[in-house]
Structure 1
Amino acid sequence: MLSICLSSLLPADHAAAVRGLQSIFQEQEMTETVHDTEGHGYLATFVGKNGRFAVLRVHSHGLVTFDLQCSEGDDLAQVDNLLNALEKKLKTVLHGDIQRVKRLPVLRRGAEVDRYWPTADGRLVEYDIDEVVYEKDSPYQNIKIMHSRQFGNILILNGDVNLAESDLPYTHAIMGSGRERYAGKEVLILGGGDGGILCEVVKLKPKMITMLVIDGCRKHMRKTCGNVLDNLKGDCYEVLVQDCIPVLKKFGDEGRTFDYVINDLTAVPISTAPEEESTWEFLRHILDLSIKVLRPNGKYFTQGNCVNLTEALNEYEKLLGRLSCKVDFSKEVVCVPSYMELYPLK
Structure 2
Amino acid sequence: MYCIWQTLLPRATSKSALSFTHTDHSATVRGLQSIFQEQEMTETVHDTEGHGYLATFIGKNGRFAILRVHSHGLVTFDLQCCEGDDITQVDNLLNALEKKLKALLHGNVQRVKRLPALQRGAEVDRYWPTADGRLVEYDIDEVVYDKDSAYQNIKILHSQQFGNILILNGDVNLAESDLPYTQAIMGSGRECYAGKEVLILGGGDGGILCEAVKLKPKMITMLVIDGCRKHMRKTCGNVLDNLKGDCYEVLVEDCVPVLKKFVEEGRTFDYVINDLTAVPISTAPEEESTWEFLRLILDLSIKVLRSSGKYFTQGNCVNLTEALGEYEELLGKLSCKVDFSKEVVCVPSYLELWVFYTIWKK
TM-score, normalised by the number of residues in structure 2: 0.94
Aligned to 1:341: 352
Aligned to 2:190: 179
Code of the aligned partner of 2:332: G
1:206 aligns with 2:217: yes
Which of 2, 5, 9 is the aligned partner of 1:2? 9
Which of 293, 308, 323 is the aligned partner of 1:282? 293
Aligned to 1:115: 126
Code of the aligned partner of 1:260: Y
Code of the aligned partner of 1:264: D
Which of 230, 254, 261 is the aligned partner of 2:265? 254
Aligned 8 A contact 1:33 1:46 in 2: yes
Q: Give the CA deviation at 1:19.
A: 0.6
Partner SS state of residue 62, structure 2: coil
Counterparts of 1:1-346 in structure 2, within 5 Å, are: 2=9, 6-346=17-357
Q: Give the CA deviation at 1:34.
A: 1.0
Partner SS state of residue 113, structure 2: strand
- Determine the C-alpha separation between the residues in 2 that align with 1:32 and 1:6: 21
Q: Give the CA deviation at 1:301.
A: 0.1
- Determine the C-alpha separation between the residues in 2 that align with 1:259 and 1:340: 32
Code of the aligned partner of 2:106: H
Structure 1: tracts of 5 or more residues without a match: none
Deviations along 1:42-76, one digit per CA (max 9) or x if unpaired, are: 11111112211101011111111000000121111
Code of the aligned partner of 1:115: R
Q: How many residues align?
A: 346
Aligned to 2:3: none
Aligned 8 A contact 1:7 1:63 in 2: no
- Determine the C-alpha separation between the residues in 2 that align with 1:151 and 1:34: 46
Aligned 8 A contact 2:23 2:105 in 1: no
Code of the aligned partner of 1:111: A
- Determine the C-alpha separation between the residues in 1 that align with 2:92 and 2:19: 18
Which moved further from structure 2: 43-52 or 233-242? 43-52
- Determine the C-alpha separation between the residues in 1 that align with 2:90 and 2:196: 62
Which moved further from structure 2: 201-210 or 38-47? 38-47
Aligned 8 A contact 1:35 1:43 in 2: yes
- Determine the C-alpha separation between the residues in 1 that align with 2:20 and 2:143: 41
Q: Give the CA deviation at 1:37.
A: 1.4
Partner SS state of residue 68, structure 1: strand
Aligned 8 A contact 1:136 1:143 in 2: yes
- Determine the C-alpha separation between the residues in 2 that align with 1:206 and 1:103: 54
- Determine the C-alpha separation between the residues in 1 that align with 2:298 and 2:90: 55
- Determine the C-alpha separation between the residues in 1 that align with 2:343 and 2:72: 45
Code of the aligned partner of 1:311: E
- Indicate the percent of aligned positions where both proteins have the same amino acid: 87
Structure 2: tracts of 5 or more residues without a match: 1-7, 358-362
Q: Give the CA deviation at 1:6.
A: 3.0
Q: Give the CA deviation at 1:5.
A: 5.2
Q: Give the CA deviation at 1:10.
A: 3.6
